[in-house]
Structure 1
Amino acid sequence: MAVLQHTPISLQSPKSPVSARIPRTLTHSLSFSTAFPSLRLKLRLFVSNGKGGARMSSAAAGSYALALADVSKSKNTLDTTSADIEKIEKIFSDQQVYDFFVNPTIDEEKKRKVIDEISASSGLQPHTTNFLNILVDGKRIDLIQEIVKEFEVVYNKLTDTEVAVVSSVVKLESHHLAQIAKQVQKLTGAKNVRIKTLIDPSLLAGFTVSKF
C-alpha cells in the first residue's frame, strides 16, 4: 500500500518550523484567559441544490480557506499561516482531538478552552486561533480537514507554488529530492516547488513524479 509522507521538501521562501502539540488531556477544566481580536470573514451564501451535502461542504471549506488566506495576505503572514495550518493538520489527525471537537454534547466554551491550550502550546497566530474559534461557534469545525486541503490549494496559487509527488520503492535522500525539485521548477517555471514523497512498494525500481 502506498503511503504519502507529510514532510515535504521545498524550494521556496522559508516558513516557520512546524511544532504542533496536542493537549495532554482534553479535560473540561482548562483555563481560557486570552481574548483574540475579531475576524470578519466574507463568506459566500450557499443554497441547497438538492445534490446532497458533500458538494456544499466542499464549497464551504473552500470559502473558509479563501477567507483565512485573504486575512493572512492582508497581514502579510501568508507563509506563517501556512505553517499554522500544517500544525493544525497534524493536531486534528489525532482521532481523539477530532472526536472531541465534533462531539455535539460538549459545549462550545469548553472547546474554545482547548483551542486556547492548543494555540499556546503550538504558537499559533491570533488570527489563526480566532479562525478556529469561528469554526467552533459556527459548528463547522467538522470541516477542518477539508479546509486544510483547500487552504493548501489557495496558498499554492497565491505563491505560485507547484506541488509534485515523488513515488519510490524506498525513501529517497534529501539531496535527490532537491535535484528533482529543481528539475520540476525548471520544467514548470513555477516560482516555488514543494515535493511530497510517496512510498509505493508496487514500483519495480526507480521513481515517478506526478502533479499533486
Structure 2
Amino acid sequence: MVSFALNRACVRPAFIKAQRPCSIRSGRRSLRVCAKLELQQVAGAYANALVEVAQKTSSLEAVHSDVDTLASVLKDNAAVLVLLSNPVISEDRKKDVVKKLASEAGFSQYTVNFLNLLIDQNRVEALEDICESFEKSYCALTDTQVATLRSAVKLEQEQQFLIAKKLQELTGSKNIKLKPVVDEELVAGFIVEYGSTQIDLSVKGQLDRITGELLMTAQTM
C-alpha cells in the first residue's frame, strides 16, 4: 500500500484555529454566513494540503481526476455526503463506503487516505468546498481555463474539441476545461462563458439581439 504523507500536521490545524472567528450578529442569516465562511476556510486548508501532497508525489493529475469524479458523484447523489457526514454512523461504516466508491471509481491511494482523514477529523461536511477549492488551485497551477458550454442539445466530442481549441487560441491558456450544460431554452446553437466573458452563438441570443434592436428603433420613431 502506498503511504500517504498527509496527516494532521499537513492540514495545519494551527492555521485553522488562528482564523479570526466570524463575529456573530443577531439573526439566522448572519449565523449561516459565518458558518459558510468558516467552512470555506477549513476547505481551503485541506485542499491546499492535498495539492501539496499530490505535487510532491507526482500524482497531481491522478488526484485531480479523482476529485473531479468525486465532485460529480456528490452533485448527482447527495445521499453520499449525507451518509458520510452523519455523526450517528460509525467511522468504520463510512470508510467502507469510501472503499467501495474508490474501488468503483479507481481512486488513487492518496485520495482514499485523504477521504479517510476527513472522516477521522470530522471534516466530511467540507468535502464539496474542498473539491471546489482544489479545482481552483489545480487550474492555477496548470494554466487551465475553465469554461461553461451551454448548448440546446448535447454536443459531440469533436464539436467540443473544436470549441476548446478555439478558446485556447482566444485565451492563450495552456489547457481548456469545458463544462457542458444542456439548456433547451437556447433553441439551437451554444453559449460559452469563461471568466467575465460570454460568447453567445445561440438562436435565443440572436433573437434577443434582434428584439432589442427593434425596441430601440421603435423608441426613436
TM superposition score normalised by structure 2: 0.73
Structure 1 counterpart of 2:122, which letter? K
Aligned-pair distance for 1:132? 0.6
In structure 2, list runs of 5 or more residues that go unmatched.
25-33, 196-221
Give the helix-richer structure, 1 or 2: 2
Deviations 1:17-41 (A, max 9, x none): xxxxxxxxxxxxxxxxx79645232
Question: Map of 1:40-119 to 2, 5 A cutoff?
Answer: 40=7, 41-43=10-12, 44-45=15-16, 46-50=19-23, 52-93=34-75, 94-119=77-102
The answer to whether 1:162 aligns with 2:145 is yes
Structure 1 ranges of 4+ moved more than 6 A? none
Question: Which of 132, 147, 167 is matched with 1:184 structurally?
Answer: 167
Instruction: Tell me which of the two structures has the higher relative contact order, counting C-alpha pairs closer than 8 angstroms and 6 or more residues apart.
Output: 1
The answer to whether 1:205 aligns with 2:178 is no
Structure 2 counterpart of 1:57, which letter? L
C-alpha spacing 1:114/1:184, structure 2 compared with 1 (3 Å) = same
Larger Rg: 2
In structure 1, how many angstroms separate the alpha carbons of the residues matched to 2:4 and 2:98?
A: 15
Alpha carbons 1:69, 1:78 under 8 Å: kept: yes
In structure 2, how many angstroms separate the alpha carbons of the residues matched to 1:109 and 1:38?
A: 21
In structure 1, how many angstroms separate the alpha carbons of the residues matched to 2:182 and 2:65?
A: 24
The answer to whether 1:39 aligns with 2:12 is no
C-alpha spacing 1:139/1:207, structure 2 compared with 1 (3 Å) = same
The alignment partner of 1:55 has SS state of helix
Root-mean-square deviation (CA), in Å?
2.0
Matched residue pairs, number?
Answer: 179
In structure 2, how many angstroms separate the alpha carbons of the residues matched to 1:168 and 1:121?
A: 30
TM superposition score normalised by structure 1: 0.76
Structure 2 counterpart of 1:152? 135
In structure 1, list runs of 5 or more residues that go unmatched.
1-33
